[in-house]
Amino acid sequence: MNVIIINNYFKKKNLRRVDKIADALRKLGKYNYKIFHVSDFGEKEILSKAKTVILSGSSASFVHPKAGQPDYRAEVEFIKKIKIPILGICFGHQLIGRAFGSQNQDLGFRVSGFERVEIVEPNEIFSSWGRGCEIVVDQNHRDCLDNLPEGFVLLARSQTCEIEAMKHKRKPIYGVQAHIERATDEKPYGLRVLENFISNVVEREARL
């Protein structure tokens, strides 16, 4: 499987936070991946032979833009046009929302550490649990989506964020606010979400 990871952080290399996604993929036995920085858009064909794209988190903000943060306009256009499965994590989730017309809001405080998330719709990525079940996943964000984008279904919510996870109704596009890649042996739920995405979405699409 060819997985493309888009690094949405400010720096291109040596970023352990993006490596966490790669580590999670390796735990699932998926070693065939490449990492591209957001600034690589327009410079090269990043989708060559790709089966799926994972959008990383970032310390950037659409509500309070920070000095030196990358220009995400090309990535937003890329999200609108992509046809293969895509998974947005934290800021990547917010990028998907932005691509489809959603706005961001500042919560007024930072959500940090493990938090309970309620499954609203046990769709493909939450197929391991039933409606109303709670999973515990790592969070690190201050901004969140203010509204569900048109054409999307709400999959999960929490006490601090109404739109914790979502999916497009017709396209294999998924977003999760939590850092599912930062699962632990004691709290493995995030890794299970990633595994479900690969098994139930990416591998299914590859068979079609």
The total of other beta-carbon atoms located within 10 Å of residue 103's CB is: 13
Q: Which of 141, 144, 179, 195 is catalytic?
A: 179
Per the annotation, the verdict on 121 as an active-site residue is: no
**Dist. CA 112–CA 208, nearest whole Å:** 39
**Inter-residue contact 56 to 86 (CB < 8 Å):** no
d(CA 54, CA 183): 16
Catalytic entry in 115, 164, 181, 195 = 181
CA dist 33 to 2, 4, 48, 49, Å? 5, 6, 12, 11
Q: State the Rg of the chain over Cα.
A: 15
Task: Locate 43 and state its tokens.
Answer: 């410079």
- Using CB atoms within 10 Å of the CB of residue 175, give its burial: 0 to 12 exposed, 13 to 18 middle, 19+ buried: buried
Q: Is 179 a catalytic residue?
A: yes
Q: Is 195 a catalytic residue?
A: no
Asked if 193 and 125 touch (Cβ cutoff 8 Å), the reply is: yes
Query: CA angle, corner 107, sides to 23 and 37, nearest 5?
Result: 35
Please pick, among 37, 75, 90, 141, the residue that the annotation labels catalytic: 90
Catalytic residue positions, numbered: 90, 179, 181
